[in-house]
Amino acid sequence: MDYLRSYKNIYDQNIILMFKGELTFDLVTAMIGTLEERLEELEENRKVKKKFYNVATECIQNLYYHLDEINADDMKVSSYDSNSALIMIAARKRFYSLQTGNYIPAERTKEIQKRLDDINAVDADELRALYKKVLAEQEFSDKGTGGLGFIDIARKTGGQKLRYKFQPVTDKVSYFTFQIRLPRIEG
């Protein structure tokens, strides 16, 4: 393997953070800290820096909080994969890109897809109203999350649609890929 070519490829793609593996609280904390340092070096626009940092933090924390939904024995994936996530963050000239991937129970795909489609179907004013409605209802999951994550991400990405894909792995497991883009130029 040509490691120098791999390094240059990652460098040329402006990848500022890349991770694949089992997420722990300490790793999440370290990743968020590393991301903050890299954004300080890369981004001059304070507003863009703050928005992207908040969106990326939300995405990484969402992964951490929802990784334990897969029972490796029941789902026929390795226990490592069931608690494993993929995170890739790149700084392009006009936008930041964040992509995550993780295994989820296949039974949850329709629910997540509906939530993302509903969010993608509304304009900024309707998104603000949806955020306030969910916040007012105060329905928290057993993990302490209130369902505001995707809505908050959509609000901060400036009208960019939330991109996603579900790939069936077995009849009980799908691989969920989530991608957002945040413009680097305020408009």
Token pair belonging to 12: 């040329």
d(CA 1, CA 94): 32
Ranges in the chain, pLDDT < 70: 7, 9-12, 68-82, 138-147, 186-187
pLDDT in tens, 16-71: 999 998 888 999 999 999 999 999 998 999 999 999 999 999 999 888 887 766 66
Query: Whole-angstrom Cα distance, residue 138 to residue 7?
Result: 46
What are the backbone angles phi and psi of residue 176, rounded to the nearest 5°?
Answer: -105, 120
In contact, 106 and 174? CB cutoff 8 Å = yes
Q: Residue 69 in contact with residue 82, Cβ under 8 Å?
A: no
